[in-house]
Amino acid sequence: MERIGKYELAAMIILFEVGSSSLFQLGAKANRDAWISMLLAFAAGLLLLGMFLYINGQEGRRNFADTLRRHFGRWLGTLVAAAYSLYFAYESMRNVRDFGDLMATTFLTNTPISFIMLVLILLSGYAVYKGVEVFFRTVGILLPLVGFSYILLIVLFFASDVLRTDRILPVLEDGIAPVLKAVPSIVMFPFGQMVVFLIFWQFAQDKSFVPKVSICAYLVTGTILTILNVCNIMILGAPLAGISSLPLLHAVRMMTIGAFMGRIDAFVVMLLFLALFVKATLWYLSSVVVLGQLAKRTDHRAFVAPAGVLIYFASFLEPNYIYHIWIGIEVSTLRIFPWFQIALPAALLLIIAVKKRRSKR
């Protein structure tokens, strides 16, 4: 049986949540108050995390598919588990497409996006084939590098004197309505995506450390994303940060430290590549693991190739990057993700709570 430790779990949560989130200006609809929307969504996401942890705590070592079958019934539970597998594959596809467009528009401008995404799928497929424990350990190795890089980036922002506090003032100039309106989409992306760990908490060496480690890692992630959000606004200004396709990269290109021009594009792109690789691969792995659970197989490797082929070809369904972003923001985030991140877990929580209460009588 594969097992993961405290450090590996914390590392995965941090890199997964940062993932593609740093590609975008979260809460852009709130303009200069986007950071307030971030904080509110951060708090709401913590409530969702509590719900996920409660569900996990009640099920012991039972896997996700069996949990759904137990509480929703054999047929409905199987259908819901299959839907989750497709949802995870869809999320992976979105990250693969994000990666392809990122590389094709920055450094590999003469390389077909189909080849770029194929390379990522092959790398991810190999990691998925090696299994949960190996992948989590690999991410544990990457965390110091990625963590140090983000900290260095934030330090460079302050050292380069490009941060302007007037760009986040006055606070709530347009009232609280735009701030509140931006919250739901941020909850769904990225904070609600913690739902994926319902698949992996069962692999913890000791389930007693899961709540504390998960919450601490979540707090670290939320802090990093909020700081980056504020930095983007203070460097670019809310209007430019909101329309920029890659605000973090744009902000980095504006850095100047003394006579040194902060052209560290390659460094930032590599940072984004590592984060996207981790996130796309974990979604891919979760889809494959659930398929293995549905088939009642302890070895999930038979599903690696079919899932990889599906994810790869699905990434071509969106004709261009603009359409890809529109689908993500206007359709997926507000109409699809809430079912898997809020509605179904809430229904599962309610059923578990009712059964637990009845059993005590």
Contact between 248 and 227 under an 8 Å Cβ cutoff? The reply is: no
**In the prediction, which pLDDT does 263 show?**
60
Cα 200 to chain center, whole Å?
A: 15
Amino acid at 161: D
Structural domain harbouring 295: 6-356
Q: Is residue 197 part of a domain?
A: yes
Q: Is residue 1 part of a domain?
A: no
Q: Is residue 287 over pLDDT 60?
A: yes
Which one, of 170, 191, 220, lies nearest residue 49 by Cα? 191
Q: Is residue 57 part of a domain?
A: yes
pLDDT band at 354 (very low <50, low <70, confident <90, very high): very high
Q: Is residue 66 part of a domain?
A: yes
Token pair listed for 47: 């409530």
Q: Is residue 226 part of a domain?
A: yes
Cα atoms found within 13 Å of the Cα of residue 182, Cβ hemisphere only: 23
Q: Is residue 259 over pLDDT 80?
A: no
**In the prediction, which pLDDT does 48 show?**
98
CB within 8 A of 125, min separation 6: which ones?
284, 304, 305, 308
Token pair listed for 209: 């450390």
Contact between 289 and 36 under an 8 Å Cβ cutoff? The reply is: no
Q: Is residue 144 part of a domain?
A: yes
Residue with tokens 């740093």: 22
User: Per the structure, how many domains does the chain have?
Assistant: 1
**In the prediction, which pLDDT does 201 show?**
97
Q: Is residue 87 part of a domain?
A: yes
Q: What is the pLDDT of residues 25-44, one digit of tens each?
A: 999 999 999 999 999 999 99
Q: Is residue 361 part of a domain?
A: no
Residue 126 DSSP symbol = H
Angle in degrees, CA 211, 293, 48, rounded to 5: 30
Residue with tokens 């992948």: 135
CATH code of the domain in which 63 resides: 1.20.1740.10
Amino acid at 137: R
Q: What is the pLDDT of residues 188-229, one digit of tens each?
A: 999 999 999 999 999 999 989 999 999 999 999 999 999 999
Question: Can you tell me the distance from the alpha carbon of 2 to that of 25, in angstroms, rounded to the nearest whole number?
Answer: 37
Q: What is the pLDDT of residues 294-341, one digit of tens each?
A: 999 888 999 999 999 999 999 999 988 889 989 998 899 999 999 999
Question: Can you tell me the distance from the alpha carbon of 212 to that of 347, in angstroms, rounded to the nearest whole number?
Answer: 24
DSSP character string of 172-208 = TTT-SHHHHHHHHHHHHTTGGGGGGGGTTGGGBSSGG
**In the prediction, which pLDDT does 192 show?**
97
Question: Can you tell me the distance from the alpha carbon of 104 to that of 107, in angstroms, rounded to the nearest whole number?
Answer: 6
**In the prediction, which pLDDT does 107 show?**
80
